[in-house]
Amino acid sequence: MVTKTEQKRAHTFVCNYCDYKSSRKNNFERHLLTLRHHNYSKGDELVTSKGASHICQNCNKIYQSRNGLWKHEKNCIIKKQNEEQINKLTEIVVSQQEQLSEFHNTITTIMTNNEKRDEIFMELAKKPSMNNSMNMINSNNKNYHIYLNTHCANAIDFPDFLNNLNITMDDLFYSKDNGYTKAITNIFQKNLSILDKTERPIYCSDKKRMNFYVKDGKWKKDNENKKILEGIWKVTHKQIKYMNEWRKANPNWRENEEKDLEFLNIVRNIMGGASDEEQCKNKAKIIKELALNNDIKELFSEE
């Protein structure tokens, strides 16, 4: 509770919420407008002087008349700050929804391109010069499929791997310092390296073509990289959600220029890109890195 002492000689204004004292009324009223006071006193009953009963619900400043309060609320600084925070959070939510829509569009585009690629392969396969190459590729794929289902049958399912994957504050700082592509790749590889090689849920069978096998109940070829792309999106979304933990750890970040800049740098580097083209390029780079770091031939070399 904020009180004015009864001692007439001192005329001291006291804020018990913030442990603040002042003998000057204008300084005391300025204190009531600060975000610090607002955070401490929000929601509690406030009394500062005899007869005062009209209180601004945003900054807790007190007025003797309802008309005075009404005029103040139209230009209340704290109210405007709250509205700005709500608007920024709304922008972040809208951005996430737009990214989700863009992600689905990307998947559709990839599927369409792969259908066209398959048509070209079918035409080429009709030529005698291609038959031997196609037979060799099909034979290798069959061998990989059999090997994985035999020797890596106990590998964790990819959806379970993604669900169990935990983002840390270090991951956010890594994103800030190294950018989106390296950060997502690092999160994947860090969590894959914890597992034994026979327990990992993804392997690349062709680094040049970036073909993956993914464990989801059984080992299956992810021809369109659909599951890999879904995994990249889920890890991205986990990082975005974890920003709530950063805010909790830095409650006064808006008042601190250094923390405010840190927030902006982290958000910029966890969103995946400012345009559709940039996002597609970033995801392609991540897939390439995952292919290089999860070569199925590593399994054969250890036998």
289 and 240, same structural domain?
A: yes
The whole-model pTM stands at 0.56
176 and 68, same structural domain?
A: no
The crossing angle, in degrees rounded to 10, of helices 276-293 and 77-125 is 60
118 and 35, same structural domain?
A: no
Range of the domain at 213: 82-301
Beta carbons within 10 angstroms of residue 155's beta carbon: 23
Among residues 75, 92, 109, which one ends one of the domains?
75
Among residues 47, 75, 103, which one ends one of the domains?
75
Please, where are the H alpha helices in the chain?
25-32, 35-41, 66-73, 77-125, 128-151, 158-164, 169-178, 180-193, 226-249, 257-270, 276-293, 297-301
92 and 21, same structural domain?
A: no
Report the SS3 class of residue 282.
Answer: helix
> Could you give the number of structural domains in the chain?
2
Question: What pLDDT, on a 0 to 100 scale, did the predictor assign at position 161?
Answer: 97
Question: What pLDDT, on a 0 to 100 scale, did the predictor assign at position 184?
Answer: 97
Cα–Cα distance, 198 to 129 (Å, whole number)? 37
Q: 236 CB contacts (<8 Å, ≥6 apart)?
A: 99, 180, 184, 270, 271, 272
Question: What pLDDT, on a 0 to 100 scale, did the predictor assign at position 170?
Answer: 97
Q: Which residues of the chain have pLDDT under 70?
A: 1-11, 16-19, 35-54, 57-60, 63-72, 74, 76-90, 93-142, 300-303
Cα–Cα distance, 174 to 166 (Å, whole number)? 14
Among residues 40, 75, 110, which one ends one of the domains?
75
137 and 200, same structural domain?
A: yes
209 and 234, same structural domain?
A: yes
153 and 19, same structural domain?
A: no
Which of 265, 214, 225 lies closest to 103 in space, CA to CA? 225
Cα–Cα distance, 15 to 21 (Å, whole number)? 6
Cα–Cα distance, 59 to 17 (Å, whole number)? 13
| Burial tier of 59 (Cβ tally within 10 Å: 0-12, 13-18, 19+) | buried
The CA-atom distances, in angstroms, between 143 and each of 96, 149, 300 are 41, 10, 12
pLDDT in tens, 21-70: 787 877 777 777 776 666 655 544 333 444 445 677 666 677 666 666 66
Beta carbons within 10 angstroms of residue 93's beta carbon: 11
88 and 49, same structural domain?
A: no
Give the tokens for residue 131.
């038959």
106 and 185, same structural domain?
A: yes
Question: What pLDDT, on a 0 to 100 scale, did the predictor assign at position 96?
Answer: 64
Cα–Cα distance, 97 to 63 (Å, whole number)? 43
The CA-atom distances, in angstroms, between 173 and each of 103, 123, 156, 243, 264 are 25, 49, 28, 11, 12
Q: 277 CB contacts (<8 Å, ≥6 apart)?
A: none
